[in-house]
Amino acid sequence: MKPFKTKLSGNLSPTKTELAAFAAGCFWGVEEEFRRVKGVIGTAVGYSGGRIANATYKQVCAGDTGHAETVLVEFDPKTVSYEALLDLFWRLHDPTTLNQQGPDFGEQYRSVIFYFDEEQKEKAVQTKNAAQREVKKPIVTEIIPAAPFYYAEDYHQQYVEKGGVATCHFR
């Protein structure tokens, strides 16, 4: 599966697909986990939620952009539900750590669900409430409207598939 290059307002696939966007720490491993889900049509890694247009990895890592490392997911809702993607999101990382996943620190590693419509927002809030009942510490995951998504450099796309190792975000 290759990264898809589509604007947030358009679809790549001929079938009716939807978009989801998640930040859950280092985007390399997060992308790989979403790519394994049946019904996911495409993924891309990039930066979202910040204040700098066309940010680079170097800028994001410096902590000056406000962006989070984000995975954009195109999926077929007839094959996989948004709720199933949310379930995976909650299992992929520790949503109770502020601006940190594993050894990675900084606001670029924060936990965020970017929603594209009110239905996604409602489902995100419902699953966050359910997840909170399962953990003792407060969940710090942000649930915010989808922001402009800036594609990361090509070498970051499908990093794990290219032979890179990324397990820093797993609990």
C-alpha atoms less than 13 angstroms from C-alpha of 33 in its C-beta half-sphere: 25
Cα angle, residue 19 at apex, residues 15 and 10 outer, rounded to 5°: 65
Helix, strand, coil percent content, the chain, rounded in steps of 5? 25, 25, 50
Which of the pair, 162 or 65, is modelled with greater confidence? 65
Residue-wise pLDDT for 85-115, tens only, equals: 999 999 999 999 999 998 889 999 999 999 9
Distance CA 92, CA 56 (A): 25
Distance of CA 11 to the CA centre of its chain: 18
Which segment of 13-17, 65-69, 151-155, 164-168 scores lowest on mean pLDDT? 164-168
Residue-wise pLDDT for 132-149, tens only, equals: 999 999 999 999 999 999
Residues designated catalytic: 26
pLDDT for position 144: 98
Residue-range domain boundaries for the chain: 20-156
The pLDDT of residue 9 is above 60 = no
For the domain with range 20-156, which CATH number is right: 1.10.3720.10, 3.30.1060.10, 3.40.630.10, 3.40.630.40? 3.30.1060.10
